[in-house]
Structure 1
Amino acid sequence: MWFARFSVRNPLLVNLAMVTIMLLGAYAFVVIPREASPDINFNWAFVTVVYPGAAPEEVEQLVTVPLEDAIEGVDKISMVTSTSDESLSFISVKFEQNLSEDDFDKRFLDLRQAVDTVRLPDEAEDADVRELNTQDWWPVISVVVSGELSETSLKRVTEELEDLIRLDTDVSQLTIAGKRDREIWVEVDPDRVESVGLTVPQVARAIATRNLNVPGGAVAAGRSEYLLRTVGQFDEADQVGRVIVRSGPDGDAVRVSDVATVTDTFEKAELISRLDGEPSVTLNVAKKAGASTLSVVKSVRAVVDAYEKDKLPGGARIALVNDQSIFINDIMRRLQTSAMLGIVLVLASLWVFLGWRAALVVVIGMPVTFATTFIFMRFTDRSLDGNALFGLVLVLGMVVDHAIVMVENCVRHLDMGKDKARAVVDGIGEVFQPVVASTATTIAAFLPLMLMPGIMGAYLRIIPLVVTLALVASNIEAFLILPAHAVEWARPSGAGSRREHRWFRALRMRYVRALAWVVRRRYWAVGAFLILAFSSAGLIPLVGVDMFSGDEMSFFYVRVWMPQGTKLSATDDFLRRVEEIALDLPAAELEAVMTTAGMIAEDDGTVTGTHVGQIVVDVVERKDRGRDMDDILADLRLRCQLLAGYERIEFTKMEEGPPTGKAVEVKVKGPRLDRLQALVDELEGELGTMAGVYDIGNNFSPGKEEIRVHVDEDRARMHGLDVLQVAGLVRACVDGTVATTFRDGDDDVDIVVKLRGADGASVSQLESLTLAGAGSAPVPLREVADLQVARGYSAILRFEGERAITLSADVDDAITGAVEVNRELKERFRALSQRYPGYALDYRGEFAEFQEAFGGLARLFVLGVFIIFLLLTAQFKSLTQPFIILFTVPFAFFGAVVGLIAIQAPFSLMTLYGIVALAGIVVNDSIVLIDFINRGRRGGAGRWRAVMKAGSLRLRPVMLTTITTVAGLMPMALGVGGTSETWKPLANTIVWGLSMATFLTLFVVPALYAISDDVAWMKKRRARREESVGLAVPGEMHPAD
């Protein structure tokens, strides 16, 4: 082969190229950003419309439904959900996951244009259309400022840290939770303002007209010109109380301080946050796309360290929580440990089988292969995340397979007495075609995995890419660099054969005898092996199913829902009780407890309200604590069940990987909300009877009791008012209105005017509110409107154009599985569906993701096998021999199932992923084996001699390629250096599947080859009989054949 001859003749050039590649690869490895997970384009967009004062039903009818109708015409949309809240319409649009970045940009533009065609109510604000960026999904670190400080001091420290952190150009955005802006409250006394004949809007108008700074042009005086400006702006908060609201003809004036109390305070609290029981403000730091999490976290830590040293006031403390760099470093440590141990095991295996010289020739290709892969990743702006690193660990043993076959064959030619150069060129040329074919088949199995659908497909897409790059790089190294090293480092040539290890010689002899026994009884043997392989399908129920298994992160959520209408302070009081339980965890387990009342963060968005809250419990790393996360959660769940007053409480541990939703997440769809609620209640009852199902709940809320103001248009018109004016005046009195804003240093401070006590007034008190009519006299609200108490909806949820309620639950994998629970729920709904015609269930969340991924992997498995079949057909120019080779795939599946039973691991998506990958790995040994049988037959050997000789000659490389692949994955499969719940099942699948398939391949492939030869012989005999040419019927296969 010309490339082998070129390498042998130009060793200096080859070595220079190798050193250059390794240096560039080392540089690329150092500068590649490290991440826990790949950046995923979620292909999500959000449409938000603010419709002030509108009830949820009005928002749904006038805003949400028209927008949904327009959005329906946009192509490539997979899911649309919406929430019609008070004064707000929020629509989530999920595009197909397989869209490219350019295609998504086009569809997003189509979405904008579709939204712009909708005519919204005049009072509604313009629609805001945004896309969800990956960096918006999760902050890389949170900076929490707490301590015995005033709210002003907490705000100042947080803002100073914000300014310093923003100097890092890799930071995309900073969000602050728990910080309240300063406000001046003008709380009007209802009795005093009524006694002087004024109203709240008149007080607000007086303040607004006083706080002015109006230019008046220019004035010329002699040779000079002066700018004229009327200055009336406030310089300090005390000036607000001195504003004149009304003055009489006798000079008497009614000032703001006469009818109201002026307070320098903060805006009304919508969130209450604490760290370890102390008031806190949290600064969440997100990075730009493509930026390194490790570098951003390092920069934030440096800023915090410097601030603590120089500026932090006494009594304050800063905690860094949700630090993603800890998780990234842990993943990198575990995977790098597995990789290093795998390399050691591969090297040891090669040394035992081939000797140190040949082992060195093979192993030198590994750093070259990985360096080439790193170079490609660097110049395509990819990060070295956990998935990419696992791909390198996965391919660790495979990248030397081709070199093993080539070096072993070169040594065989060297033993024939050839000189080094001739032995290397001939040896590599002899196995060139099977090596290329085996590489192509492995790539054919892995590369289609890049087409895996759904969010899991996007999450895992880097693995087949890395494997393919490494395999191509290893082939290039094996054909262009290895030959030069093989000549330089090969043992001296001689006429005598190398001495074979005694143990391997004995093993070879036993194998040859066993192979002869199997080939003579080939029909019985193949039948037994096939029954054994296909019986593995019946073993799957013994394995169980766990759809997704991810590495747990070192924190978990406690989410709390109180009854609708609960005040924020009451919700916070309950959270304090849960907080005390969390703070009671052993000090050896606990890092920090962060409490937020008024907000819950979920996979599909943020829920806000006075009746909700969450606690984030940050624990120490798993290796540093005695209990695992499930035990801690079970302990907290049991203790929190003793509390009373809550509506729902949910405990959620966080795992590495993309968001897939809950184990049970069902959209219950139908036209009427009352019937939907009744159906959901029944389904919750059904789930409650299933063992292992917990945290059952739904996202429907009946809403708070509300006081509805029904304006009588005729009566209102008599006072010069309309419905919109009355609504605005009522809101100004109760919720307050921003009269004006004044500048105090660098801060813009709102001046809010409202009626004191109106937010807690009774119906009769609200009826006495005085409004400013067209005349001079104030108008009581009862004169223009009637007030009624009723209960409405807090929000109306829709899914795919229909009203819907989401039913959700988690499952205990030790008792049951999400697949079983969802299937059982389907069966039970059939019994209920007769009473609920027109209502349907749409299964989402983890179950839907699993179904999509499972179906996609099944299709990709078929595609991969078909491509492998085409490649093998082109290689062997036969239809029969590719089928013989592909018979090893069921044996791999059998080995994988046996392995899962042996290690007591469930059948998961990652297991299935490994089985698909196995299809391209297990055929490699069969390719080389069949190729050598064919060479023997072409050389004149009978089928018996060709089969036996090929088996004897290829035993070493077949065993060695399997051992190196298994050795590379064994540390991860066993959890040496740290267990990964994400990758351990996949590693075990390949280890067990490949080991079993290789053992059976050594016997089944030769037997199947003999059977196919029998069939071919019988066809020839039949054809000759038809030509009236008689042939003797051969008996058993004998060595002489």
Structure 2
Amino acid sequence: MSSSDVSSIGHDDSLLRNEPGVIPKFSLRQAVLLNLLFLVIMLGGWLVVGLMPVDVYPDVDLDEATVETFWPGASAEDVERLITDRIETKIEGVRGVNHIVSDSKPDASLIRVKFREDLSDTELDAAFRQLSAAIELVTDLPEDTEKPIVTRISVGEIFPLLWVAVKDTGGVGEETLHDIALRLKPWLRDVPGVAKVDDKLIRDREVHVAVDPDPLRHLGMTLDEVAEVLRQYNRTVPSGTLPEPRGEFSVRAVGEVVTPEQLAEIAVRKDPGGGHVYLGDLATITTDFERKRFFARLDGHDCKALAVAKTPEADSRGVSERVRDATVRFQESLPSGIRERVAVEVILDSSDIIRSRIGMLLSNLVSGIGLVFLSLWAVIGTRNAILAVVGIPFAFLLALILMHLMGVTISAVSLFALVLCSGVIVDDEIVMLENIYRHLKINRVQRPDLSELQRVRLAIVRGAHEVMWPVMASSATTVVAFLPLLLMTGILGEFFAIIPKTVAVVLIASQIESMLMLPMHYLHIGPRRDVRTLLDRIVSPRGGEGPNWAMQAYDRLLRGIIRYRYWVPLPLLGSGALTVGLLSMIPVDLFPSDFQLVAVDIHAHDEASLDQMGEMVKPFEQIAMSMGGEYVHTVLTAFGIVATDDNAALWRNNLAQLQVQLANSEAVRADPDVVARELRERMETYLAAHPECAVRSLQVWAPQDGPPIGKPVSIRIESGDLGRAKQLAERFKARLSRIGGVFAVEDDLDFGPKQVNLRLNEDLASAHRLTQPHLSMALRTANDGLVVSSFKDTRSGEDLDVRVMLDASNRRTIDDLLNIDIRAPGGYLLRLGDICELDMGQGYAGIPHRNGKRVVTVSAQIDTGRVTSREVHAILGDEFRGELAGSGDLRVVFGGEYGETVKSFEGLFRAGIVALVVVYMLLATQFHSYVQPFIVMLTVPFTSVAVVVGLLVSGYPFTIMTFIAIVGMTGVVVNDSIVLLDFVNRATGEGRPMADAVREACLLRVRPVLMTTITTVVGVLPLALGWGGTSKVWSPFAASFAWGLTFSTMITLLIEPAMYCVANDGVTAWRRWRSVHSPGSESAPAASPAR
């Protein structure tokens, strides 16, 4: 095209004045404006990419809150009765609560409040505020409990961005590690993008006042009285203001200490003669750590760990890099001699996951676009291929701008939706390009009177307008097919809502590109002559002058299909029946995981201490680390606290958990399950060879990737009688252990260590006017200690609690505790052992509740290659039918992955029905027909045939993503049929017989139909085949999509032509029958398309 031709674009409209097509004519007239807009959107998209936060998961609200209350030294039974029950009673009045789950354990109560999923954001905010207010109204908790902590749970709260560990590699000791970790905390907090640095897993320092009972008894004082002196002394009381001529002064009565040494100078007994007795005379005052409830090791070395969470708007990768830089600078700032003996490391960095996934998805995206270009080049030529492919970055960048405005972040979910659309968005351009080029070839033959520029412009307007409405309808059906996924409820619904939102904005962007930008671009860089492509050379080998053998073969096939049209659907029905049989051969793994982590839970006997656990677990740490850097990156071991698969924390002295972070290596990527298999085999071999090992159970499992949904097998037994519930739990466990493929069977009702129970002798207690609280306070102060006050140490800046207790040498045995003194209300002292009775017992390690009722949960992991959670629950349902029916206060409920699966499939089923109805309505509106939409939608139910076959061939299991793929394909697979049927209707509208109209439309549309299918399939093919890295979550989705589209194309080109004719035969026969039997009709109307 010459420069004069280009300059004349948009000024000579006489040729197009009477042509329909407002949008393509606008595109040609406003080429300069649209070119500028194109560049602005491309540039703006690149800028927005830098502004959008990148997360592993979308930061959705999980409609959940927690209430944590700590009561150090209390038993699980006391925590349940005096804390959990009282708080749960207050929560019951909060509106919008779906259910309440709690765990009462020694020292603490943890309550999880789940709100209803149908609450709007405003209602959820109001419900959380009401919950916080209700907790504030709980005023009858024991005096020495800590204030309840209410936290709203989101994905960012459950999954910290990363952890920073301070590892002791040179024996510096806990005190030095503690100081370094506290110094590191402000360094991390100052990193841009960091929202919070959590140090809850680091023991606090406190001041221990260890009282010697002998001088205390000599003075006639009790331990409680010493505690009360300290409580009253260490406080500052505001005392108003004092007006002075020089000005007004505030007055305070100051009694606070600012260093531990000052505590020794407090007088506990005053003498008018000056012979005061000071605390230092009775007690040894030291600064030490609080009682050990947990500790951690990293790669076999003691460590302190800090959890780092980012702000919602921050980029995970950027924050991670800045945190790593900060840790390097902090390590260099440590004093010489310490720097070489301590390592500050970033561990469990979730941004590594998003880097890996972005790399994998981008690799698949680039590969997909490359394959799309090659396939288009082979079919429609170089220039047309460039025009089609250039729409991909434009649509993506415009979609990112729209996503940013909608608040959708870049995550693994949205990235996959973009990859999925990489082939779909080219479809619009292909249909447009092919039709424009077809009209251009017609113009070159039929309009020799026009210049080449005029022929191109006329072809653009006619070709674009002719397919504009079918293209818009096909995109609309794709969007509405995905939109019902928004109807999914539960946590999965929150996560997967990102997919329809992303697909919608991408296809809207694609429509803008194909309707507005493509016509203008075609005018500038479209083909200048008839294109002879690679496909043309194959199907028409004699320079284009010979017959096109492929089209001739398809034409002969079409004639046979139309002639024997009543037999054609039979193979389709047969394949549907075959699919039902093949379904049983496909393994089911509804919620697969790509998480680069393996957890090993080690459960010892009930009396095991933390120190014993530390020694017991060392061989298992060595086994994990011996797998080498090719498979294992780090091994973090937590003692006393473990993370459960529903992202809760379980506190037990006899528990430990190894979190084995996998290496980002080819060996792991090739087989992500290899580490878990090898660890399980090696550790079980070690246990078999060492029967003296006190490990009661060992579980190797992969933490769930994505929203928390519980274990594959979960049976909840609710009963007020824990003994009865425990008995039924044992029966369930025994049956589960006999099912092949089920392992790690356990329940959550464990016994704690043995207890020494001291009770008041009621007769003696009454005689001395003593009550149970006197006994409880005296015992607790002597053994566990009592926090009486706190102060900020001016040297370290730490807030230090002051804990009063007996010195260690006088609380080694129960006899030592029985020997302490207690003051009776009459003023005299009594020995505790003289008024108490003693017995031995055993309490629970934790007492779980659900909605205020005691509950025992039986859970298990499964080998998805052998059995599914659905099958396991079906077996249990048959054998425990009577128990499931419930009796009295006993109730049994299946939950976990099975419960979430049922809920998800109900949501997906509803979404599928809604999608079908909306797609039908769109098609009926497009074709003004009640019958034709059914023909178009014929591909939908039989797409599952290809999905089943594809999963069998690919070796992928059936997953929740596969089901979503089937729902999403409801709109995608009908796209080609829409354009094809539109051409059939045009031909019949011009008077052609139905059979000829069908043949003509099919021959005209076979090339674009094949091209759109090829481009969509090759767009997801790399991900389906794992060329850029296999994903257990997304690869089955991509494979399902590829196989489903391929099969639907065969139906469109081979089955639907026959069904058009069958439907037309039926409508024609009906009209003839009506004409015969209707009064006033003498002849049948001419045959017309089925309506």
The alignment's TM-score, normalised by the length of structure 1, stands at 0.93
Match of 1:6, as an amino acid? F
CA drift at 1:53? 7.5
Match of 1:44 among 46, 56, 64: 64
Aligned to 1:263: 286
1:53-202 → structure 2 map (5 Å cutoff): 56-57=76-77, 59-60=79-80, 64-65=84-85, 67-68=87-88, 71-72=91-92, 74-86=94-106, 88-112=108-132, 120=140, 123=143, 128-147=149-168, 148-176=171-199, 179-202=202-225
Between the aligned partners of 1:392 and 1:201, the Cα distance in structure 2 is 67
Aligned to 1:423: 459
Deviations 1:814-855 (A, max 9, x none): 222222222222222226669976533212111111111111
Between the aligned partners of 1:953 and 1:217, the Cα distance in structure 2 is 94
Deviations 1:957-990 (A, max 9, x none): 1100100100101111111111111110000001
1:728-747 → structure 2 map (5 Å cutoff): 728-741=777-790, 743-745=793-795, 746-747=797-798
Structure 1 636/655 Cα, relative in aligned 2: closer, same or farther at 3 Å? farther
Structure 1 815/493 Cα, relative in aligned 2: closer, same or farther at 3 Å? closer
Match of 1:414, as an amino acid? L
Between the aligned partners of 1:907 and 1:221, the Cα distance in structure 2 is 83
Query: Is 1:987 matched up with 2:1038?
Result: yes
Match of 2:31, as an amino acid? P
Point out the more displaced range, 715-724 or 74-83: 715-724
Structure 1 865/326 Cα, relative in aligned 2: closer, same or farther at 3 Å? same
Between the aligned partners of 1:729 and 1:921, the Cα distance in structure 2 is 74
Structure 1 479/142 Cα, relative in aligned 2: closer, same or farther at 3 Å? same
CA drift at 1:130? 3.1
The alignment's TM-score, normalised by the length of structure 2, stands at 0.89
1:301-700 → structure 2 map (5 Å cutoff): 301-311=324-334, 313=338, 314-417=340-443, 418=447, 419-492=455-528, 500-503=536-539, 505-553=548-596, 555-602=597-644, 603-623=646-666, 625=668, 628-642=674-688, 643=690, 644-700=693-749
Between the aligned partners of 1:227 and 1:943, the Cα distance in structure 2 is 100
Asked if 1 retains the 8 angstrom alpha-carbon contact of 2:408 and 2:498, the reply is no
Query: Is 1:768 matched up with 2:819?
Result: yes
Identity %: 31
1:583-982 → structure 2 map (5 Å cutoff): 583-602=625-644, 603-623=646-666, 625=668, 628-642=674-688, 643=690, 644-711=693-760, 715-716=764-765, 719=768, 721-741=770-790, 743-745=793-795, 746-757=797-808, 761-774=812-825, 777-830=828-881, 838-982=889-1033
Point out the more displaced range, 841-850 or 684-693: 841-850
Structure 1 821/717 Cα, relative in aligned 2: closer, same or farther at 3 Å? same
Point out the more displaced range, 605-614 or 967-976: 605-614
Query: Is 1:32 matched up with 2:58?
Result: no
Match of 1:383, as an amino acid? T
Match of 2:873, as an amino acid? N
Asked if 1 retains the 8 angstrom alpha-carbon contact of 2:428 and 2:471, the reply is yes
Structure 1 909/72 Cα, relative in aligned 2: closer, same or farther at 3 Å? same
Aligned to 1:17: 37
Asked if 1 retains the 8 angstrom alpha-carbon contact of 2:822 and 2:830, the reply is yes
Match of 2:649, as an amino acid? T
Structure 1 168/936 Cα, relative in aligned 2: closer, same or farther at 3 Å? same
CA drift at 1:432? 1.6
Match of 1:524, as an amino acid? W
Match of 2:703, as an amino acid? M
Match of 1:635, as an amino acid? E
Point out the more displaced range, 477-486 or 591-600: 591-600
Match of 1:927, as an amino acid? I
Point out the more displaced range, 298-307 or 283-292: 283-292
Between the aligned partners of 1:495 and 1:87, the Cα distance in structure 2 is 79
Asked if 1 retains the 8 angstrom alpha-carbon contact of 2:198 and 2:307, the reply is yes
Structure 1 869/249 Cα, relative in aligned 2: closer, same or farther at 3 Å? closer
CA drift at 1:707? 2.7
CA drift at 1:281? 0.8
Between the aligned partners of 2:532 and 2:105, the Cα distance in structure 1 is 87
Match of 1:608, as an amino acid? W
Mind listing any 5+ residue stretches in structure 2 that lack a counterpart?
Answer: 1-20, 448-454, 541-547
Q: SS of the residue aligned with 1:481?
A: helix
Aligned to 2:17: none
Report how many residues are paired.
1034
Structure 1 208/485 Cα, relative in aligned 2: closer, same or farther at 3 Å? closer
Structure 1 759/465 Cα, relative in aligned 2: closer, same or farther at 3 Å? farther
Deviations 1:476-524 (A, max 9, x none): 1111111111222233478999994442632221111111111111111
Between the aligned partners of 2:435 and 2:206, the Cα distance in structure 1 is 83
CA drift at 1:388? 0.8
Asked if 1 retains the 8 angstrom alpha-carbon contact of 2:610 and 2:640, the reply is yes
Between the aligned partners of 1:949 and 1:31, the Cα distance in structure 2 is 51
CA drift at 1:104? 1.1
Between the aligned partners of 1:770 and 1:783, the Cα distance in structure 2 is 10
Asked if 2 retains the 8 angstrom alpha-carbon contact of 1:932 and 1:950, the reply is yes
CA drift at 1:594? 1.8
Point out the more displaced range, 63-72 or 293-302: 63-72
Deviations 1:981-1022 (A, max 9, x none): 111000000100110110122011110010011111211222
Point out the more displaced range, 1004-1013 or 443-452: 443-452
Q: SS of the residue aligned with 1:523?
A: coil
Point out the more displaced range, 384-393 or 222-231: 222-231
CA drift at 1:779? 1.7
Structure 1 415/761 Cα, relative in aligned 2: closer, same or farther at 3 Å? same
Match of 2:677, as an amino acid? D
CA drift at 1:861? 0.6
CA drift at 1:439? 1.1
What's the RMSD between the two structures over aligned residues? 3.3
Aligned to 2:321: 298
Aligned to 2:543: none
Asked if 1 retains the 8 angstrom alpha-carbon contact of 2:379 and 2:533, the reply is no
Asked if 2 retains the 8 angstrom alpha-carbon contact of 1:414 and 1:493, the reply is no
Structure 1 279/938 Cα, relative in aligned 2: closer, same or farther at 3 Å? same
Between the aligned partners of 1:377 and 1:116, the Cα distance in structure 2 is 40
Match of 1:885, as an amino acid? V
Between the aligned partners of 2:45 and 2:408, the Cα distance in structure 1 is 14
Match of 2:26, as an amino acid? F
Structure 1 142/828 Cα, relative in aligned 2: closer, same or farther at 3 Å? same
Match of 2:206, as an amino acid? E
CA drift at 1:900? 0.9
Between the aligned partners of 2:81 and 2:239, the Cα distance in structure 1 is 49
Deviations 1:561-616 (A, max 9, x none): 22333222222222223223323323433322222221112224211132222222
